[in-house]
Amino acid sequence: MKNILKAPFVEEMKKTTANMYRLGWDERNGGNISYMLDEAEVSKYLNLNKVIRKIDLGFDATELIGRIFIVTGTGKYFKNIEFDPETNLGIIQIAGDGKTAKLLWGWRDGGRFTSEFPAHMMSHIARLKVDPENRVIMHTHPTYTIAMNTVCPVDEKDFTHKLWQSNTEAVVVFPDGVGVLPCMVCGTNEIGIATAEKMEKTRLVVWTNHGIYGAGKTMDEAFGLIETVEKTAQIYMLTLGHTVNVIPDSIIKALADLWHLTPVEGILDI
């Protein structure tokens, strides 16, 4: 068996969470990531028949039976992951009943997956339906995104439009737009269902007064989406009340055309 602490997917989790922490997005235990792994790849590092313990899911994940994920733990701090991955991360496989997870590695202090596990697994199910190559669901609390969401109506078309109008990269990076959920109680199956519903149409979902979810085929894709929203929200907030130039809809459309992208319908007035 190879050393799991040197596995590329553990390295990726360490680097990404450290990066997000230093960007100021993940205070205390804020934020969580789940990353679907390839079974053959994981078997190089772990005996998949050796189950440390079973953890109740509290929701139905039949569609993910057998799938393996590396996940951040509940109550764990992103800032600590790089120094002690085996306490702060876990690798689980969804058991054959679709109702429990088999812990294969990690959470050595008796911990368990993030409180947002329902939203993560339900989002994986939703994204895999529209993109079989999706692997990553990322949740974080980026400051300017939350600030912009605080001063804008809960209206995903309006929010997406404002982002596209503020940065020429925005429509190119997320032509599928940004979904917006109203303020809800987090950590519940209800917010998981609502997030997954949005994830069938877009890779980005804002949770009002809380943070954002991003999805991607790779860690870079999910991170890059959130990073672009956050940069754009920063520009929006820095200029709020002083704006003179917004990007016209004709230019937004031309930018999308240039990259052969179709902006989600119902936003541009052209």
Residues marked active site are found at: 116
Question: Is position 30 an interface residue for ligand 2HA (rule: CB under 6 A)?
Answer: yes
Q: Which does 149 bind (CB under 5 to 8 A by kind): ligand 2HA, Zn ion, none?
A: none
Spatial CA neighbour of 145 closest among 208, 197, 194: 208
The one-letter amino acid at 146: I
The C-alpha atoms of residue 139 and residue 206 are separated, in whole angstroms, by: 10
Alpha-carbon gap, residue 10 to 204, rounded angstroms = 24
Q: Which one of residues 17, 34, 114, 123 is an interface residue with ligand 2HA (CB under 6 A)?
A: 114
Q: Under rule CB under 6 A, which residues in 168-187 are in contact with ligand 2HA?
A: 186
* 16 lies in the site for ligand 2HA, by CB under 6 A: no
- Taking the complex as a whole, the smallest distance from the CB of residue 30 to Zn ion amounts, in Å, to 5
Pick 31 or 175: Cβ nearer Zn ion: 31
Q: Is 208 in the site for ligand 2HA (CB under 6 A)?
A: no
Crossing angle for the helix pair 117-130 and 189-199, nearest 10 degrees? 20
Find the shortest distance in angstroms from Cβ 193 to Zn ion. Answer: 17
38/135 Cα distance (integer angstroms):
10
**Min CB(186)–ligand 2HA separation in Å:** 4
Using CB under 6 A, which of the segments 24-32, 52-60, 95-103, 240-248 binds ligand 2HA? Answer: 24-32
Instruction: Give the C-alpha separation, 77 to 184, whole Å.
Output: 23
Local structure of residue 87 (DSSP, 8 states): H
Q: How many helices and strands, by DSSP H and E, does the chain display?
A: 11, 9
Cα–Cα dist 70/242, whole Å? 44
- Least distance in angstroms from the C-beta of 40 to ligand 2HA: 30
Positions touching Zn ion (CB under 5 A) are 211
Query: Residue numbers of the site for ligand 2HA (CB under 6 A)?
Result: 29-32, 114-116, 139, 186
